Amino acid sequence: MPQTVGVVGMGYVGLTLTAALASRGYTVHGAEIHPTVLEALSQGRPHIFEPGVEEVFRELLGSRIFVDAELPKGVVEVAVISVSTPVDEQTNLPNLSNLAAAARQVAGNCGPETLVVVRSTVPVGTSRRVVLPALVEAWGRARLVMAPERTIQGQALRELVELPQVVGGLDEASRADGLEFFAGLAARLVPVSSLEAAELVKLANNCHTDVTYAYGNEVALIAERHGLDPLEVIRAANLDYPRPDLARPGYVGGGCLSKDPYLMLGSAGAREPFLIGPARRLNEHLPVHVAGRVVELIRAELGRSEGARLAVLGWAYKGWPPTDDMRGTPIAAMMPVFSAAGLVVSGHDPLVAPEVIRRYGGDPVSLDKAFSEADAVLVINDHPDYRALEVSSLLAAGRPRLVFDSWRVLDEAAVRAAGVRYAGIGYLAAAGS
C-alpha cells in the first residue's frame, strides 16, 4: 500500500485530507502556490478553521507533513489534485485553469507509476478531458481515479474516515489502485464504473441538498405572503409523516453549494436541467429578499433607514458546525442593499476575524454593543454562541427596536416581551407580548 502522498492544493479539501492521511501514518507532501497560505502552513498555522487540523499540523509538521510550492520530484506514490474549481462570477461558467495547472505540475514532477487522484469537484467528463491529456502527453500512459470529497465543514476529520469513499477509475487497474489507497483511510469503499460516474456522484449529492433547501425557502416565501409562520407549517408537515422531511428555511452558501449547481449545469449539455438552475436562483435570491425585508422593517419602526444602525451577527456562511468560511456568505449579497438604504452596519462573529468583517463593509463590535447601540439586530447564522444568548439581559432602554432572527434561535417570547419587534425568514411577527 502506498505510504507517500502528494496533495496539490491546500485549500479546505487538501488541508483536511493532508491532516487525515498524516494521522493514519502516511507521509504527505502538500503543494500550495499562494505565498501567504504556504507561509502560514510552513509555520504550522492552518489558514482555515477546522476542528483537529491545527493539532495535527502542530504535531506532525516536519515529520509526516511537508509543504512547499510544488510536489517534490520523483517522491510521491499517489498525487491527489484538490485545487479549487471556481465559477465565473458573471457567467457562472466553470473555470478549470487551476485543475489544468495542477495536472501539469503532477505530470512534470511525478511519473507513470504514480497514482493520480482527482478530488476537486468538476463537471462530468473533466477528469478525462482536462487531467488525463497532460499525464498521457508526459508519460504515455496514466493511472487515474476520481474520488470525490463529501465532508461537511466542522466534521471533516471524522467524516473522511466514516463516510463511504466513492472511487471511479480510468480503467479496472486504476480503480483497483484507488481502492487500495483509500482502504488506508476510509472505513467503507464504493467502487463505481468510471471517472464520470464518480464525478456525477459528488454533483448529485450537493445539488440535491441545494434543491432540498430551496424547497424550504419556497415554503417560507409563500408563508410570508399569507402572514403565516413557516416553521409552524414545516413542523406540522414533518411530524410523524413517513415521507422525506421538509427542510427549514435558511441561507445556502459555502464553497460547494454556491458553486456546484453551476458545475452540474455545465455537465448537462444543451438540455438545461429543470430543477437545478431555478433552485440555485431562489437560494441566491433569499439573502437579497431578507435584506430588503430588514430595511422595510427598520423604516416601519424608525420612519427612516438613512443613518439607522444595524448590527449583523454571524458573518461566516453558516454557524453550525462552526466555521470561519466566508465563501457564499449571505452578507455579501446583503451589503449592497444595506448600503443603498443608508444603513450603518456593525458586525460580530465568533470565528471571523475583525479585519474580514471590515473587508465586507462592517465595523466589528462586541455582542453587548451590538444590542445596546443598534437600532436593529440581524442574526444571519446559528452559531452555538447565539443559540445560548440570554437575550432578555441584552434588551434594554428601547434598543434595539427590531430583531430579525434568520434561524429562529433566539427566545422570541423574551424579545417580544421587551417590546421589540421580532421577525425571521418568512415570518413577520408584531412587536409586543
Q: Which residue has better confidence, 212 or 269?
A: 212
Q: What is the pLDDT, as a whole number, of residue 183?
A: 97
pLDDT in tens, 243-254: 889 999 999 999
Could you read off the pLDDT of 261-301 as tens digits, one per residue? Answer: 999 999 998 888 999 999 999 999 999 999 999 999 999 99
Q: Above 70 in pLDDT, residue 431?
A: no
pLDDT of residue 433: 46
Is 266 domain-assigned? no
Would you state the pLDDT for residue 430?
58
Residue-level pLDDT at 15:
97
Report the percentage of the chain scoring pLDDT > 70.
99
Q: Which of 138, 160, 194 is the last residue of a domain?
A: 194
- Decide: 27 and 62 in contact? Cβ < 8 Å: no
Q: Is the pLDDT of residue 191 over 80?
A: yes
Domain edge (last residue) among 144, 164, 194:
194
Q: If we measure between CA atoms, which residue out of 34, 161, 204, 182 comes closest to residue 115?
A: 182
Which residue among 170, 194, 218 closes a domain? 194
| 154 and 36 belong to one structural domain | yes
- Residue 268 inside a domain? The answer is no
> Is 274 among the domain residues?
no
In which region does residue 390 sit, left (phi positive, over 0), alpha (psi from -120 to 50) or beta (all else)? beta
Distance CA 95, CA 316 (A): 24
How confident is the model over 366-404, as pLDDT tens digits? Answer: 999 999 999 999 999 999 999 999 998 898 777 899 999
SS3 168: strand
The total of structural domains in the chain comes to 2
Report the pLDDT value the prediction gives residue 43, as an integer from 0 to 100: 93
Instruction: Name the helix (H) or strand (E) containing 31.
Output: strand 27-31
Amino acid, res. 8: V
**Residue 384, C-alpha cell as written in the block:** 452555538
The pLDDT of residue 89 is 87
Report cis status (omega within 30 of 0) of the bond before 278: no
Full residue range of the structural domain in which residue 293 is found: 279-428
Residue 21 belongs to domain with CATH number: 3.40.50.720
pLDDT tens-digit map of 300-340: 999 999 999 999 999 999 999 999 999 999 999 999 999 99
